[in-house]
Each structure stands twice: as structure tokens, then as C-alpha cells.
Chains A and B, each alone.
Chain A
Amino acid sequence: GEDVEQSLFLSVREGDSSVINCTYTDSSSTYLYWYKQEPGAGLQLLTYIFSNMDMKQDQRLTVLLNKKDKHLSLRIADTQTGDSAIYFCAERAGNNRKLIWGLGTSLAVNP
């Protein structure tokens, strides 16, 4: 079945770049998403990429998609303490509204 995998924890120093990785299994994925969850809050969409793109940049965020390897990454440049949160990778296949979610990567930013 469909599956999305992420590493569970990442720790970086303030000012460094963070790279959060995700792998997925469904080759028919159309959209891939990165959501952010801060403590005690719901999930918020950070960015997304359409499956015919390799890269998308949005200010400090860079998303890379390797469709051949089914690998997605999120790079956060100049990571700040406010970036500490759980980051979820999710995929959507076709016009299906159902998203398949990873377990989330908990990012800790140390001063």
C-alpha cells in the first residue's frame, strides 16, 4: 500500500540549514506537501510541490523532489528557534482528496 516515511528527529544549531527528508511509495503522487505543527496547534501548510517539478523555492524554504527515487526534501535556510516544530510530509495521488502522511520529523533548533 501507500506509505510515507520520515526520520523522527533532527537537531540543528540556530543559523544553520536544516534538511528534512521524506520517501514515499506511490508513483502516481500528484502533489507532495510539507506541513508544520507547532506545540498545541493544528497543522499548517508550509509549501507544496507538483509532481512535474524538481524544485520549488519560497524564501527560506527549498523543496527538492526526486521522482525517480521517490524522495522529497525540505531545506530551511538560516534556521531559527521559531522553526522548532514537527514537520509532516504528505502525498496526494491523482484527484483523490485523501492524503497519505508521514509520522513527522521533530526539529529542535538549539541556540
Chain B
Amino acid sequence: DAGVIQSPRHEVTEMGQEVTLRCKPISGHDYLFWYRQTMMRGLELLIYFNNNVPIDDSGMPEDRFSAKMPNASFSTLKIQPSEPRDSAVYFCASSKQGFGSTEAFFGQGTRLTVV
């Protein structure tokens, strides 16, 4: 398996524009997580899905952020309108359902710069 695939790897956009980040989880994984990483706040969980259903979106900063998972192999995180303070690295991760350690596998991340 190729692992968790995120696109684009880098995104530079102007303030006010819509930004869509994409993620393809590992096949067979039931959980998908969206994280944001900044120097100031570290790694923050934004939202996670189980079997394509959002379970906990308490980390989504505000209404400008939305996430969808239309099927088991694709998820998007959308920011509309984007602001400079949204600049960060956004990670997608997936894991399998079940007992035990259930390791989360991370994608390479999307570095977003809003100017």
C-alpha cells in the first residue's frame, strides 16, 4: 500500500480564497483524522471520522472550516474563506478499527500558506 496520500503537498493562496485539501487513507482503515500543526500550538486534532461518519469535530476552529468523507477512500478539508492565521501544515492520518494499539499512519502533510 502507498500509505496515506495527501494533496497538494504545498499550497499558497491569497486571503479570502477557498482552499481544499485532499486525503486518501490506507485501504481498509476505518478511521480518518485531520490534524493541524503549527509552531505555536503543536499538533491539533481538527476532526475525525469512523466509517465515513464524523465522530468528533470539536477541534474545528470555526465555521470557515469544513470536512467531508464521501466514501471510504477520500476525504477533503475545506477552508472558506482562508485567512493568514490558517497557515500551517495539515496532516491526514488513518487507522484500523479494533482493539489494541491501533497505530495511526500519517500522510506527508500539506503545507498551507495564506498571504
Contacts and interface: CB of A to CB of B under 8 A. Distances in A.
Nearest to A47: B101
Nearest to A44: B106
A88 B103 CA distance: 14
Interface SS of chain B: strand
Interface residues of A, number: 19
A104 B31 CA distance: 23
Interface stretch (B41-49, B68-76, B78-86): B41-49
B113 interface: no
A88 B43 contact: yes
Contacts of B55: 97
6 smallest A-B Cβ distances: which pairs? Answer: A42-B106, A103-B42, A101-B43, A43-B106, A45-B103, A48-B101
Interface of A: 31, 33, 40-45, 48, 50, 88, 95, 97-99, 101-104
